[in-house]
Chain A
Amino acid sequence: MPKVPGLIKGLTVTFGELTKTVTRGAQTVQYPHEKEAPPIRARGVIALHEENCTACMLCSRECPDWCIYIEGHKTLAPPRRAGGKPRSVNKLDRFDIDYALCMYCGICVEVCPFEALFWSPEYEYSEPKIADLLHDKTRLGQWMETVPEFEPYEPGAEVKAKKVPK
């Protein structure tokens, strides 16, 4: 059998793609009208579960580009048991993440010892002004609703699946 010239083969490849697009639709997504769901683990935006935060500053210190700003003060909380002494707790005054600086590396979520930070796959929070990318703790707390449950693992994994506090 004589060899088909590569020039002809190339034309059939592109024509095949043309017919595929016409009959089966394009691979692309018409973005504002239809959206692709990012995977559950996608690092879209960081959500803050404020009740768990103790203002320990670990995330702020571990952040490679120092884009987390935390302020807190000590206060007295009501005692756990009736008649006990009031506990001394850290109250969070300010928890800001500057998404204009954030590298989305996820170190803050990883180092948090009290499970106060979570990744949400939401990605639509661009702003016309760069200063508006500084999300304060209310904004970060609102992202908590979009945090999905952790997925189960592949068989053979020994890691325990975590839970998202609601």
Chain B
Amino acid sequence: MTDLVDRRQMAYIAAQAADARVNVELETEGMTLNIGPQHPATHGTLRIVIQLDGEEVVAADPVMGYMHRGYEKLAEVRTYPQVTTLVNRIDWLGSFANEVPFILAAEQLMDIEAPPRAQWIRTILFELGRIANVTLFLGDMGVQLGAISPVFYAFRDREFILNQIEAATGGRFHPNFDRIGGVKDDLPAGWIADTKVALKAIQRFCDEMEDLIVGNEIFAARTRGIGVIPADIGLSYGLSGANIRASGVDWDLRRDAPCGLVYDQVDWKVWTHPDGDSFARYWVRLQEVREACGIVEQLLDGLPAGPIMAKVPRIIKVPEGEAYVETENPLGIMGYYVISQGGLEPFRVKIRSASFSNISIAPWLLKGTFVPDVITILASLYFILGDVDR
């Protein structure tokens, strides 16, 4: 009897020992790598906790909120004109585009429509904001992959656009130019001619990037087939903007629902790419900058005469109601859900920012990639931390 028990015990111990030996031989310990919150590739303070096996990513978890500034809550204690100055700071590279959906939502609640000239100026500045924003991406993608020069070219040529935005609005980064019922001021004399010169510089920049980055074999090797987002997965994660258009989804709110902006007045094209990889996302954005230059040029030629402000009371009280307006911002779809209870301040503002949705696909996308590809994918998803955390 005892013999049997002993033998069983011995067998058990042997099995345990064998297991242990196997584990010693095969189980290597993974490594947890914190990319961020302070890291050159995160454009700010995003933290991504990555489980590594060698250089391969086993799991990636973005940790957001390091830059949470509470704009939704702040907007509840600011009057409607004051909110635009705050929301400028959400996507700080294409600031004017942040103001527009909020103003449109407020206008919808007040049942006001801006005069045509104001709508055209809005659309022009909206597209200039897109150019300023995406131009920087076109250079920054290069620097994330190790090419230092493109980002300097991007800063150099974005300067022309920022100068034009400043000449019209007074602010380079934070225009605060959109008002309920129109825009703050009319364009200064000579602005249209200057802007056309600036657009020429941007088109030249796009050609340079075509030669320097898109045509580069190393860039193609680094981005083609890396971070492929199938269209259905992308849609289910709520991706929008160039990220989803690069996956072949022909969906652009500027064409499909040009709420309050005059995109239906100009001749332009929505660019898509069937691949859905990092290269496609870069390529689509490059074409979008070119397209935006074309849009602005056409709008400048056809700017109608007229007033820039509708009849708006001096003290703005928004009647009770709810409105949701979304526009196609440089980073993707941005929407404001505004609830008013008839006071000077909005009762509640919910901001749907593009980057927050775009970054949410990161855990799915980063699994199984390598550390250099993590950087490629994050750069090509193109998020701005202010837009992620709000």
**In the complex, A touching B, CB below 8 Å?**
yes
Q: Which residues does chain B contribute within 8 Å of A27, judged by CB atoms?
A: 156, 159
Interchain CB contact under 8 A, A17 and B153: yes
Interchain CB contact under 8 A, A6 and B185: no
Q: How far is the CA of A119 from the CA of B166 in the complex (A)?
A: 13
Chain A, interface size category, equals 20 to 34
Kindly state whether residue A93 has any CB partner on chain B within 8 Å: no
* Chain A nearest Cβ from B139, distance in angstroms: 13
Kindly state whether residue A153 has any CB partner on chain B within 8 Å: yes
Interchain CB contact under 8 A, A151 and B176: no
CB-CB under 8 A for A104 and B81, given A5-B217, A156-B117, A157-B186: no
Interchain CB contact under 8 A, A158 and B305: yes
Residue in A closest to B307 when the chains form the complex, CB atoms: A158
Residue in A closest to B220 when the chains form the complex, CB atoms: A6
Q: Which residues does chain A contribute within 8 Å of B216, judged by CB atoms?
A: 6-7, 9-10
Interchain CB contact under 8 A, A10 and B176: no
Q: Which residues does chain B contribute within 8 Å of A86, judged by CB atoms?
A: none
Interchain CB contact under 8 A, A41 and B215: no
**Total interface residues on B, using CB and 8 Å?**
47
Q: Which residues does chain A contribute within 8 Å of B81, judged by CB atoms?
A: 62, 107
Interchain CB contact under 8 A, B212 and A10: yes
Kindly state whether residue B167 has any CB partner on chain A within 8 Å: yes
Encode B179-206 as 1/0 by CB contact (under 8 A) with A.
Answer: 0000011111111100000000000000
Residue of A6, A152, A154 with highest tally of chain B CB at under 10 A: A154
Q: How far is the CA of A138 from the CA of B14 in the complex (A)?
A: 90
Q: How far is the CA of A75 from the CA of B306 in the complex (A)?
A: 44
* Chain A nearest Cβ from B81, distance in angstroms: 6
Interchain CB contact under 8 A, B171 and A64: no
Q: Which residues does chain A contribute within 8 Å of B170, judged by CB atoms?
A: 39, 41-43, 106, 119
Within 8 A of B (CB), among A93-137: 103-107, 110, 119
Q: Which residues does chain B contribute within 8 Å of A13, judged by CB atoms?
A: 208, 211-212
Within 8 A of B (CB), among A16-58: 17, 27, 38-43
Interchain CB contact under 8 A, A64 and B189: no
Q: Chain A residues in contact with chain B, CB under 8 A?
A: 5-7, 9-10, 12-14, 17, 27, 38-43, 62, 64, 103-107, 110, 119, 151-159
Q: Chain B residues in contact with chain A, CB under 8 A?
A: 78-79, 81-82, 85-86, 88, 117, 149, 153, 156, 159, 163, 166-171, 174, 176, 184-192, 208, 211-220, 303-308
